[in-house]
Structures are given as C-alpha cells and as structure tokens.
Amino acid sequence: MKNFYLLNIKWFYFLGFILFTLQGCQKDDSNGTEDESIYEDPNNSSGRFSEFITCSIISPPNEVGLSSYYKKYINCSGIPIIGNADVPDEALQIASETVEFMLTGLGNVRNKLISDGNYVALYPEGGSIGDLPENFTNNGNTGNYTNNNTLKAAASDVASLLCRPEAGYGHTLVHEIAHMIDGGALRFISPASQSELSNLYNQAISSGKWNNTYASTNPQEYLAEGVTIWYGVNWIGPEGGDGLRNEIGTRGQLQIYDSGLYNFINNYFNNKTAVPGCREPVISGTTANCPPTITDIDGNEYEIVNIGPMCWMKE
C-alpha cells in the first residue's frame, strides 16, 4: 500500500511537470507571433480593414488599397483613421479614441461599419476636404460623411480636434461620426429609425425649434447637431441662433428644449460623457471673454483657448 501511495505521488509530480512545460511552450509561441495578435479583429467582423488592427500609428498596409496620399494609419476599433504625413500623430490618436468612445456599447452598429469597410480620413491644418483624394463633396464644410457603392468614409479636420483658436466651430469629427452611425449603420440595421427621425425633425421644425440653426437643414443634420450637443462639444451660439447654432449646448438643455431628439439619441447612441481630447467648454456666450487659465475644484490649473464664442479648457 505504501509503494502504491508513493507511485501515485510520483505520477502526480510527473503530470504537473508536463503541464507546466506545455504552458511554457504556449507562452513562447504567442510571443513568437506578436504581429498576428496586433492584427486580430476584436469584433470578429470581416471587412476591408478587419485584418489590420493596430493601436500604433503605422504606414497604411498595402492590402487595404488606400491612396498613396495617405502615409499614416491607426485602427484600434476596426474603423481606421488615416492621414497624410502632415497630420500630427496626436490628431490621429485623438480621432481613434473618439471613434472608440462613440461606438462603445453599439456592437451591431460597429460590426456593420466594420463589415462595410468604413474609415475616417483627416486633412491637415491649413487644408480642406478638397485636398483628400476620395472626392468627398466639398461645399465649404469642415467635414463630410459619404456612404455609396464606391466610398464609405468620413472626412474631418485636424484643427478642431486639436482645439486650435482658428477653428471657430464645434467638434467636426463627433458630428461626422454621428452621420456615420446613422447613415452607415442605423438605416440598415434599424430601418424604422429613419422614419422616426424624420417625424421628430418635422415636429421640431413645425413647432419653431432650431430656427436659424444648422440643425434645421434636414433630419440628418438635425441628428448630427443633436449628437454634438449630447456629448457637450458643440459651438454654443446666441439665443435664437446665429445661422449655425443657438444657446442649446448641454445634454440637460437638449432634454428640456427637444425631448424627442433627446430620447432618440438616448435610444440609439451611448450615454458616455467626456469626449477624448482637449475639448471641455467652461464659458459660453456670443462674445466670450476668456481668462488665460482656470482652476478646477481639485486645484488643477488648465490653459484656456478661445474658439469662436466659447472658451475651452485644454487637458
């Protein structure tokens, strides 16, 4: 009986040694395939860019077929951000974080955008949408989203991402990703959302809401402007509007002013706050008189920049 007991102990240690050795081999194998793990698709979706996932800024992979104009590529979310050599790495990283921020919790939306090969193209400071090779509609706006048989992409500026004083407008990328979520996903996976949105828009306009603002243009701009307000990164204008914006600039104000739009966004978008990057409004008004710095309740001091009629706090 004693020998049998000792034999069992020996087998126990022998098997333990084998398992330990196998685990060590598996770990070594994963280290040897580091590049493969970088390009894993986190959503198990198949699309144009889904085999080239990386949170580092790299040269665009040849396999994805982007124009040679583009020299930088980052793709943490399955929807890549691209730019030419003049687009700062900081802007690419903020844009990547912003896309991830807006798609958090929207699994079906994200998967649709990935499977259709959507991406975001940034143009550098001092440039315009017309500089990009995709032939986006260039009507003088700072951003665009196109979804057709040959192009599924958003174009956005760098200046508003980096809070440049000359960027006297709201958060272009948040506005365009709102279009992407709506026009690139919701209208396909939730067709009823489109009639719902149109009805809300018609009701709002007929009741006198959004007069003298860009939100009054059509249901799509109504939603995109509402989303930038939802996330607190729109340019706040004067009461009654200035042709582009009015005094509604926060989620709470939106709920009171247009509860229908508020509820629509609450149903189809996430309720996260604190958009990545440098934008945090601290003062609004038609002629904001910005202090050079501001100190929060914890004693942290932040530099203030004036963008249009608003003062913004840098991170």
* Nearest by Cα to 50 from 36, 59, 40: 40
Q: Give residue limits of the domains in the chain.
A: 36-164
Q: What is the pTM for the complete model shown?
A: 0.77
Q: How far apart are CA 112 and CA 180, in angstroms?
A: 11
Q: How does pLDDT run along the chain (315 residues), one tens digit per residue? A: 444 443 444 444 444 444 343 343 333 333 333 333 333 444 567 899 999 999 999 999 999 999 999 999 999 999 999 999 999 999 999 999 999 999 999 999 999 999 999 999 999 999 999 999 998 988 888 999 999 999 999 999 999 999 887 666 779 999 999 999 999 999 999 999 999 999 999 999 999 999 999 999 999 999 999 999 999 998 888 899 999 999 999 999 999 999 999 999 999 999 998 899 876 654 444 445 566 776 655 566 777 766 555 566 665
How many CB atoms neighbour CB 40 within 10 A? 12
From residue 210, give the alpha-carbon distance in Å to each of 32, 159, 215, 252, 306: 58, 26, 6, 16, 25
Cα 183 to chain centroid distance, Å, stands at: 15
Cα 309 to chain centroid distance, Å, stands at: 24
